[in-house]
Amino acid sequence: MATLLVQRGTLKQGDIFVVGAENGRVRALLDDRGQTLKSAGPGQPVEILGLNGTPWLGTAVWLLKAKPAPVKSLNIVPG
């Protein structure tokens, strides 16, 4: 769980995001009273569920427009 303040745009349940080296999908949005929200707009503090790790305090959250493609690891041998 992480607490954040929406600065621009709208955060919605199901959005995919990156925060520092961590990522996740908004599984739930909660307001300051613990009530479930479907979306949050600018100036609205919310708690989000769905983070895959623990980011540093104050790290910016970036929303992704599309689901990222899997990355394949390649070993390149100089020759």
Q: Residue 59's closest CA among 51, 68, 71, 67?
A: 51
Residue 12 within any structural domain of the chain: yes
CA distance 36 to 55: 23
Show the domain range for 50: 2-59
pLDDT tens-digit map of 16-70: 999 888 889 999 999 999 999 999 999 999 999 998 888 888 888 888 887 666 6
Q: How many domains does the chain have?
A: 1
Residue 55 within any structural domain of the chain: yes
- The single-letter DSSP state of residue 57 is T
Q: Residue 48's closest CA among 30, 34, 71?
A: 30
Query: Is residue 20 within 8 Å of 55, Cβ to Cβ?
Result: yes
CA distance 74 to 19: 26
Residue 20 within any structural domain of the chain: yes
Q: Has this prediction a pTM greater than 0.85?
A: no
Residue 31 within any structural domain of the chain: yes
